[in-house]
A and B are shown apart, each in its own frame.
Chain A
Amino acid sequence: MNNLEIPAETTPEFTSTSETSLLVVIVDSNPSQKMLRDNPHVLTHCVDSVIAFANSHLMQKAQNKLAVMACHSKTSEFIYPGPNKPLDVRQIDGQYEVFTAVEKTIKHNLAKLLANEKSTLVTESLLAGAIAMALCYIARIQRTKPPGCRLNSRILVVTGSGDSASQYMNYMNVFFTAQKQGIVIDVCALDQHLSLLQQGCDITGGLYLKVPQLQGLLQYLLWVFLPEPPIRQKLVLPPPVKVDYRAACFCHRELIDIGYVCSVCLSIFCKFSPICTTCHTVFKIPGPLAVKSKKKKIKL
């Protein structure tokens, strides 16, 4: 605080961080993801766990903030605070009324969203888009916060679907944006291992966890993801795994060690081809070095 050191009489103050902590939870509630197709009841369990987790976040500090999003294949929506006027909630049991409001709002909005969902089977949830929305939301909160107020923001993605390479570019854009803005992305994988999102955690300094047992979801969430980033250093949490940053070639989507990169559009290919399939540039055939001097003459 101050450059002047005044001998303090009080006991060491460990209770640090008066920062406001903003948490955006993205729940993948796409009903056609594999996990939910096998057993639709899992969704209720997951949503209950997420609500309890979200409330625990609010319980940490009075000034903590929360937003919850639902992510589908056709749309993503904020289900808390939600676009509508807050529900008028009266206490029905011993639960803190703010928590009751969170629970009611999330369940209400999610039910509405699921009812509108057409029964077409699209297994892919567009998580990158949902993260992009969350980043815009956080950027607005940052922009409009009163001066002098400190805010740390993080995004938690809870999903059971796999990550597909078709979203690769969007994923990378959101990861680098988050890194630039100092926003941590945490990922809780319920069903499959998510190598792309794991890269995002590594880039933004977040935690990645593949839940071994779905029954204990709430416990995993509370143990690993509840501590906000400034406190994480004080706790022993799962160590960062070494992330495989190898590229996948655009032609066969296979991970490669050595590849060819188009100098115009940076597409990656595993074999030499005379035309870039992405930007349709024609490449010259690599020949002996003598070709180079010839080229120069043409340029002149």
Chain B
Amino acid sequence: MVDEEEQKEYRWETGYEKTWEAIKEDDDGFLEASVADIIQRAKRKRQAQKQGNSKLGMMRHLYVILDCSDSMSSQDLKPTRLLCTVKIMENFIEEFFDQNPISQMGIIIMHNKRAEKISDLAGNARKHIKAINNLKQTSLIGEPSLQNSLEMALRALKLLPSHASREILVVMGSLTTCDPGDINTTILNLKSEGVRCSVIGLAAEVHVCRRLANETGGLYNVILDDCHFKDLLYQQVDPPPAALTLESNLIKMGFPHQMSVEGTEEPLTMCMCHVDSTDEGSKLNTGGYYCPQCYSKYCELPVECRACGLTLVSAPHLARSYHHLFPAANYDEITYENQTVICFACQKNFSETDKQVYRCPNCTKIFCINCDIFVHDILHTCPGCATNLSTFQIAHNTTQ
């Protein structure tokens, strides 16, 4: 699907774009409306692209490779490249697990020509955020080694079952890499294992990064400023289209529930997640989730049972991912000709300033632009379709 290579021409080779012509003054000579319009358009465009992907890699296993070399101390991002990255990364991790609750993430840093794993593949956001925060004290020395870190990530990703979507995300500040061997073989290995590698460059475009991304079906982008950085990073939150090599599988999962027998107190027990951790020891308490297979207790979900290896999740965790698979239908943009007085969802009165309104193809209800964005960005349910039983059923049959 995405494996084919697309050779993009360089920016300076593309046609002469008159970007300023896209911006027009409104009647009062203000630019704001025009700029807002451009932003809205970009949002809608991205939205439209999202549709159409029928198969996504839902069980993601992502290794984040962070450059911690000398070049990260540069101050072109405020206060420094590293601190800026750490801050943006924190939010990214939270958002990632919010949107992909049954996925896992690991973090590798590269400094002084070596790769170092600072957190293993795991589904717990807090652990990763802690690890990332500890980076603030690391000394930034030497050159990075792209090959070493890619190899390290590959070694871990290789072992995963075949239905897992394998991804690597590199945040690269340096323009050079110091590798022990031929990186091209590593790239080929990654490609054959179906690992999708994306790179975000903090400085300038580097050929080897572009090649890595293109070969493995990932994205390669160089940031303009911190806002753009954030934007690029957040693109990685949505699950990527499933790679061709990805297998479909039925995975056995457990749905633990609290052990409560009517009228009796729950016994005091210890949870398995903290039983051998040193900083916060396991405490005897009631409550918790019990693995339905071996009855080990865990204090939070999702988790992989340490005793029997069963993946334990709760139903809402799965449900949180459904919207990637069954997004709300895209609305059609139509010019406003008094079709209706108010927006169906938010009850806003339409006026002359609303030149465009948006219509759902299923329920033909009319919405304002803000609701269009809200519905597709956050809500993922069309209020029109969801309130009428006949359209409700249409919507469901087409998406399923």
Contacts and interface: CB of A to CB of B under 8 A. Distances in A.
Interface of A: 71, 73-76, 78, 81, 83, 122, 124, 126, 128-130, 132-133, 135-137, 139-140, 143, 166-170, 172-177, 180-181, 199, 203, 242, 244-248, 256-266, 268-269, 272-273, 276, 278-279, 281-284, 286, 292, 295, 299-300
B309 to A, nearest CB: 13
A158 to B, nearest CB: 17
Contacts of A264: 55-56, 58, 242, 248
Interface stretch (B75-83, B211-219, B227-235, B313-321): B313-321
A135 B379 contact: yes
B36 interface: no
A133 B248 contact: no
Interface in B61-87: none
B31 interface: no
Contacts of A176: 316, 319-320
B254 A281 contact: no
Interface stretch (B22-30, B39-47, B202-210, B339-347): B339-347
Interface hub of A172, A264, A272 (most chain B Cβ within 10 A): A264
A258 B258 contact: no
Nearest to B375: A136
Nearest to A128: B386
B268 interface: no
B326 interface: yes
Contact of B379 (A136, A167, A276): A136
A166 B392 CA distance: 10
Nearest to A122: B389
A136 B388 contact: no
Contacts of A257: 254-257, 292
Contacts of B342: 83
Contacts of B371: 136, 139-140
Interface in B343-400: 343-348, 370-371, 374-375, 378-390, 392, 396, 400
B237 interface: no
Contacts of A126: 386-389, 392
Contacts, number: 197
A263 B58 contact: yes
B252 interface: yes
A218 to B, nearest CB: 27
Interface hub of A132, A172, A292 (most chain B Cβ within 10 A): A132
B251 interface: yes
B341 to A, nearest CB: 7
Given A170-B381, A260-B253, A136 B248 contact: no
A268 to B, nearest CB: 7
A68 to B, nearest CB: 12
A266 B323 contact: no
A184 B39 CA distance: 31
A135 B321 CA distance: 20
A143 B250 CA distance: 43
B250 A283 contact: yes
B132 to A, nearest CB: 22
A261 B248 contact: no
Given A126-B387, A132-B381, 6 more contacts: A81-B347, A172-B319, A245-B314, A246-B257, A257-B256, A269-B250
